[in-house]
Structure 1
């Protein structure tokens, strides 16, 4: 029945969203992707060469991936087929491939557009490989997730990745101006509200047009909204942020690196974005603890105490009050002196421990709970440091086959500046104690002679 309606073109009278009515008819009408479809764009060059090849479109929602795929089919005279990985399985793919083979035998190529291609499992992705290789289909897959993580290497080796960028405010403004032309009326927004709407779209062209439709529906004749009224009407679109996917890791990485880079304002910004998007607060707290250990260390040992206290405070208070504790910890860590000396020392010590195996410590520092062990020299000659001058014996604690190693090299920042002085003093004392021991051994041998 739906086919009959389509044949009669009755569907043209059905209501259609503004974004659908504004779908570009030519690549030149696509906004915000000049690096791909501009006169010197990557896709424009492929079209001019006459050889498209399989592609993966990677970018945020509402940036034109589906539209460009459809237009590419028209530009290259390929039959266009579109499926969604969410609703399709291997049996659906087989039918599509058989139809594509039939078309190919009659001289017609097929561009198969797969939306959300990252939703396919490995076996489903592998099904594309033979039909991509023999030219049965030209695959164009679209994904909002990083293809390096979500698609297998075999498919990526046969396709070129094209990156779609989030639309900037200029591109959003261009879309809104075109919408006003189509609607034949101005958006009832003052200048500040118009700029606010562009920001709310968060780089998503479809979202911008949906918001514009909501504004038109809400406005009474002659009414013009300011920014505050706009937020009241559209209830502000939630930030794009998938806690299980790339956005999650991008922002937590940004938070950690701004702390490491001693920029408290940037740290607060990324923290606020994560909190606003509903990120697990304890996930954030764990990363703050990690930053305290990894990037501040003994330069300010209080940093770890503050980070742990922030976690406990959030546990105790919950949202939203406990979030201030996380903010306080982020600022403390960002403004603390930085050192990864313990972090790098521990990695070096771990590497040496693995390389050299189970070396026996010097018998001097081993316990001797039995007579046999005492007879073997366990614990013989051990000097209790608290009884030594400066509470420092200067004994050699290293396995004989390994010799003394230096892993921990403190910085001159924060508390580690004092530790550097202390270690230098102990190094001097160690040499003095060794010289004393050598002198004592020579005196002992002389007395025996």
Structure 2
């Protein structure tokens, strides 16, 4: 009986790909240590590394950009802890496929075999379909590993998120992508590229390992007789590749110069470095990501519209493409350069994160806890809560800090832009709080 069951429901270990399989498949990692760029998760101190060491997985959502290893991690996890692996894709699967997967997992569970259910593009399932996972996850019929490129906070049900740990995968950096190319060359031979073109190919992948290997496979298939320089590579691939005049550090030097020109409120210099990057072939979406980060890190609430301008520029560029959409990038760049600056939000995040790590076990005061049951009401949850809207000022002045922790001041707005008004609001609330607390 056991042999028959093993034939029907195998514990699917990573398969050896066919010789004619795509390069990305042939280079799929065969064990977790071969995963690159995600050591914060797969390393000994990472969440995945610790679970594997303990031999037991909890349900999880792998959130990260395309080509960062989500599918590979899921397959290798099952093998690492001896679980049966089964997969569905929210793009191609429906209710019938899910019912079949759950039924097979039930059969496996009765035979003492745990199932890891991998759901690719899980955010594409609608709310009702996501709710369908809950009873099987709660009973332990399956350990759910979902993969998504979308923010789980918006794309997934709260009930599902409460039963799964969200693990964030990083976009692959240049060093990780270079390792991928080295592995490809060990298998297929040297790429027909000059050293500069190789660097340009890595930069053009924009953190996507699968895309990089697909581009490399295109180059191998063409059997190019002489190595291509960066300009030749861009022409061959019909895609922008960054071509910097000086050295391979040009990519990082120019983005640093752009960022510091923006921070220094010099729109002319910022526009110059933006032009240097885009005319060199830098990927516009990479520049837009850096502008968006700048809007939060160096402007923040001094001008909340900066973040909106950057996101609107991203949408506009994706809608129009090049070259028309690049004007929207210019607009966002100029807006950021001329906006009032504040890193108060950035500093507040750092301070709050450090404080949370130090005091993460402290219970919030009982008066601000929700009390959905009679028992919770009986033990004091929600007792004495002051509903701010019942006060004429719309402000109760309550203490919201855990017992044993003094109120902290993480966010210190500056006397610039909109944050000048924020300072006035905080001062007003502090005055009311001091008055009501004697």
Distance 1:148 1:162 in 2: 12
1:233 partnered with 2:236? yes
1:58 partnered with 2:63? yes
Corresponding residue of 2:334 = 331
Distance 1:63 1:140 in 2: 15
- Aligned residue among 12, 15, 24 for 1:19: 24
Corresponding residue of 2:372 = none
Distance 1:327 1:161 in 2: 35
Could you say if the C-alpha distance between residues 181 and 259 of structure 1 is closer, same or farther in structure 2, counting changes exceeding 3 Å? Answer: closer
Corresponding residue of 2:91 = 86
Corresponding residue of 1:195 = 199
Moved more, 46-55 or 264-273: 264-273
The answer (yes or no) to whether the contact 1:27–1:71 under 8 Å persists in 2 is yes
Moved more, 37-46 or 164-173: 37-46
The answer (yes or no) to whether the contact 1:129–1:155 under 8 Å persists in 2 is yes
- Aligned residue among 20, 43, 50 for 2:48: 43
Could you say if the C-alpha distance between residues 126 and 13 of structure 1 is closer, same or farther in structure 2, counting changes exceeding 3 Å? Answer: closer
- Aligned residue among 101, 122, 133 for 1:96: 101
Could you say if the C-alpha distance between residues 30 and 122 of structure 1 is closer, same or farther in structure 2, counting changes exceeding 3 Å? Answer: same
The answer (yes or no) to whether the contact 2:302–2:416 under 8 Å persists in 1 is no
Q: What secondary structure does 2:141 align onto?
A: coil
Q: What secondary structure does 2:303 align onto?
A: helix
Corresponding residue of 2:142 = 137
Pair member with larger Rg? 1
- Aligned residue among 157, 162, 170 for 1:157: 162
State the shift of 1:197 in Å. 0.6
Q: Equivalences for 1:361-372 in 2 at 5 Å?
A: none
Q: Cα RMSD over matched residues?
A: 4.4
Paired residues, number: 295
Distance 2:331 2:19 in 1: 54
State the shift of 1:274 in Å. 12
Distance 1:210 1:224 in 2: 18
State the shift of 1:86 in Å. 1.1
1:207 partnered with 2:215? no
The answer (yes or no) to whether the contact 2:23–2:213 under 8 Å persists in 1 is yes
Unpaired runs of at least 5, structure 2: 1-15, 243-257, 306-320, 343-387, 395-414, 421-438
Unpaired runs of at least 5, structure 1: 1-10, 240-254, 298-317, 340-350, 358-410, 417-449
The answer (yes or no) to whether the contact 1:238–1:277 under 8 Å persists in 2 is no
Distance 1:224 1:275 in 2: 23
